[in-house]
Structures are given as C-alpha cells and as structure tokens.
C-alpha cells in the first residue's frame, strides 16, 4: 500500500463519479474477481444492515482474494463463533492471526476481530506519556466511555482501519488488501459519523464547562459556575462529575490527534483505492436500507463498487407457476399417501415461486432507483458456513463461477 495525500473538504465535494465508473445509467453485473484482482484496490468495506450475511461475505472475499495471490487482512466486528471456526481459528481478537490452509495461489490471509476497548487503550498508550496514559486508563469515566459509549465502536473501527493501513505501509506491504466488516449498528454507516460525534461531544458546551476550572484563571470560578456545578452534582453525583472533569482535562491534550487521524482515515475511505460493497438480503427492509447506503455513500463521495444481494431464492421447476402448483395440489387433496406427498411438494413449490417473484420485484425496484449500481445475487445455501470450503462456496457464488 502506498501513502496518500489527504484531501480537503472542498476537494472532496468535487468527487461525484462512482468508483471506476462513468456515471452509467445502465445496471451491470458486479465482477467480484475483477475487483479482487485489481492491485489498485487496497481496501474493501462491506456495509449493510444487520443479519444480511455481511461478516460471512467479508470473510469469503478475503479468502478468495488470498487464494488469487493477494496478501489480505480481514477486520471483522462481531463474528459468530462458527465463522472463526470456519477460518480454522479457535478465537479472533484484536491482533491479526494467520489463517491456515489457504490455497496455493501464493497469497496470505490474516483475520482479526475488533476489540473496541483494547483499541482505545492502545491509542491512549501510544499518544500520551506513561503517567498521563495511566491517569486516563484508570479513570472510571474513561472505562465507561471506552466500553459502552454510543459511537465508540464505530470510531474505533476507523482507528483500527487506520492502524492496519499504516502498518501495511510501514512494514513493507504486510497486506496489500484490507477487507472491513462494518459494525452491527442501527445504521451500518454510523462509523462515518463517529468522528464528528466524538468531536461534538468533546467540543460541546458541557465539556468546555468542565474544562473551565482547569484551563482558566481563578476568576472563572464564579458564583454562576458554582451554581451550575452544584446542580450537576445533584444530578450526576459529585464523584461522577469529578471523574468526568479529571478525564476531560487529561484527554483534552490528546483530542487533536484523535481528530487528525479520523480525518486521515475518512480521506482514505474516499480514495480511489477503496471500494465499498453494500450487502443486503432480498427483503423489503434490507433493500430499503441498501438504497439508503447507496445514497449516503454518494453524498459522502465514497467509491461504491456495487451491491451484493445475499440469500436469493431461485425458481424451482421451470414451467410450473405458483397458481398451477396450488391448483394441482387442491386436486390431489383427499387422495392416497403418494398424492399427499405430491400435494405437499406442489405447495412448497408454490411458496418458493411466490418468494422468488417477490425478491425479483425488490431487485428490479432497486435497479430502477439506482440503475448505475452494479449488482450480484448470491443464492441461499441449505445450511450455515462452518469451514473454509463453505467460504469458498460463497466466494464462487459471489464471482458467478458455480
């Protein structure tokens, strides 16, 4: 990976063309192997609503890229235990771990799971003096902030991506591709807003009020300030307020570094070497979210590669419509055991045809609204993915080679 110059906000506003595209109004098939094989692609970000197979997709993309000769690191956020096991790892943690038994394509695959608090701790330890770091890390308010504060996971996902990218650059191209599985938050693009939310929190009037006694002269400790702190003591408790004041005073000197790195990572996400993949399922809510993600990425001038629709149900027997199957099933009612089995199969076929028709309408509706977005559909599997072969099967479906 190579370092990139950071863009300014005004420069970002001028970038409106989709990644590698010309603003075509005709939908096309998403070529996954071309994307993975393009050495200019250094970061792939998988985003989408929860429960659509985003993490499995990220792992399958990473494995396929590694088996095509790329050196890959997959950053997952909250993988199911079976996914770690499918990659041959007893556990995933905040350190990239090599995945064994990757094919003979000459590439490598490392995987890791974001540890939100550990990542926050590492940043503090790297940016502060040992004394200051110890003061922050042991502060009860910091412990709560780094463990459960809204937006912290999304912000730390950006921090970790920045760290991985810097490591890839500084250590003679440890990885030439990083695949990111975004956090399972209410909006899978919350991580784009996390730096601004953290900035707003630490730049807000309340925080400035807490910092006033530490930063300003004694005259700031006026009767008015005493009234405010007295009220806050009653609401929060004296110890909580003291912990917050102590944390903010210690953390304030580090905040500029946090903001600068967040802006650098944000610029990295906008770079041409990054590709966003929106992952969805053929369901009304998921496709609605996918439309939102596509529109939001366009607003933020993020390079969108395309849409992946997981768990698509294919048609059953050709030539038998849902209506024909239902009609045939009704005619067999009251027959012998063989007729009953046939009627049950026809009922299953009718339901499958209805599901397939509904999914087709949803896909066509998305294409009509976003005709320039390349898409690929992945057929639903009979069971869960539990090993590397399962991830390879997903990879083949993504690439359309099965």
Residue 341 lies in a domain: no
Residue carrying structure tokens 């026809």: 346
Q: How many domains does the chain have?
A: 1
Residue 247 lies in a domain: no
The model's pLDDT over 15-58, given as tens digits with 9 standing for 90+, comes to 334 554 434 445 689 999 999 999 999 999 999 888 899 989 99
pLDDT band at 324 (very low <50, low <70, confident <90, very high): low
The whole-model pTM stands at 0.80
pLDDT band at 116 (very low <50, low <70, confident <90, very high): confident
pLDDT band at 327 (very low <50, low <70, confident <90, very high): low
Residue 276 lies in a domain: yes
Residue 329 lies in a domain: no
pLDDT band at 157 (very low <50, low <70, confident <90, very high): confident
Residue 265 lies in a domain: yes
Residue 248 lies in a domain: no
Tell me what the mean pLDDT of segment 117-132 comes to: 89
Tell me what the mean pLDDT of segment 105-120 comes to: 89
Tell me what the mean pLDDT of segment 206-220 comes to: 50
Residue 236 has pLDDT above 70, yes or no: no
Q: Which domain CATH number covers 127? A: 3.40.50.300
Residue 184 lies in a domain: yes
Token pair, residue 149, equals 């504060």
Which of residues 316 and 270 earns the better pLDDT score? 270
Domain coverage including residue 89: 22-193+255-316+370-399
Q: What is the mean pLDDT of the chain?
A: 78
The model's pLDDT over 348-370, given as tens digits with 9 standing for 90+, comes to 777 788 888 899 999 999 999 99
pLDDT band at 262 (very low <50, low <70, confident <90, very high): confident
Residue 268 lies in a domain: yes
Question: Could you count the other beta carbons within 10 Å of the beta carbon of residue 126?
Answer: 11
């Amino acid at each position: 990976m190579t370092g990139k110059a950071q863009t300014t906000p005004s420069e970002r506003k001028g970038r409106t063309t989709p990644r590698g595209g010309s603003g075509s109004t005709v939908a096309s098939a998403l070529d996954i192997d071309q994307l993975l094989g393009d050495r200019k692609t250094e970061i792939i970000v998988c985003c989408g609503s929860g429960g659509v197979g985003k993490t499995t997709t990220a792992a399958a993309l990473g494995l396929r890229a590694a088996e095509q000769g790329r050196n890959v690191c997959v950053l997952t956020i909250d993988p199911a235990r079976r996914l770690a096991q499918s990659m041959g790892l007893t556990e995933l943690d905040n350190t990239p771990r090599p995945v064994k038994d990757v094919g003979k394509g000459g590439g490598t695959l490392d995987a890791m799971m974001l540890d939100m608090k550990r990542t926050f701790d590492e940043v503090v330890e790297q940016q502060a003096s040992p004394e200051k770091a110890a003061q922050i890390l042991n502060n009860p308010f910091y412990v709560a902030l780094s463990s459960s504060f809204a937006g912290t996971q999304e912000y730390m996902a950006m921090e970790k991506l920045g760290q991985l990218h810097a490591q890839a650059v500084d250590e003679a191209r440890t990885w030439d591709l990083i695949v990111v599985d975004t956090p399972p938050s209410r909006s899978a693009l919350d991580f784009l807003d996390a730096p601004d939310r953290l900035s707003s929190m630490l730049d807000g009037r309340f925080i400035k009020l807490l910092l006033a006694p530490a930063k300003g002269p004694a005259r700031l400790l006026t009767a008015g300030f005493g009234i405010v702190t007295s009220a806050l003591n009653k609401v929060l408790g004296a110890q909580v307020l003291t912990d917050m004041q102590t944390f903010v005073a210690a953390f304030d000197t580090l905040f500029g570094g946090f903001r600068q790195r967040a802006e650098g990572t944000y610029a990295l996400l906008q770079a041409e070497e990054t590709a966003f993949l929106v992952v969805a399922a053929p369901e009304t809510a998921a496709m609605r979210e996918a439309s939102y993600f596509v529109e939001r990425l366009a607003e933020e001038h993020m390079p969108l590669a395309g849409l992946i629709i997981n768990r698509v149900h294919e048609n059953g027997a050709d030539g038998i419509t849902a209506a024909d199957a239902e009609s045939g099933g009704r005619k067999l009612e009251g027959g012998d055991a063989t007729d009953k089995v046939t009627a049950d199969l026809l009922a299953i076929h009718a339901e499958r045809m209805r599901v397939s028709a509904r999914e087709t309408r949803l896909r066509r509706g998305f294409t009509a609204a976003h005709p320039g977005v390349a898409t690929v559909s992945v057929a639903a599997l009979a069971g869960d993915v539990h090993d590397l072969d399962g991830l390879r099967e997903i990879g083949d479906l993504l690439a359309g080679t099965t």
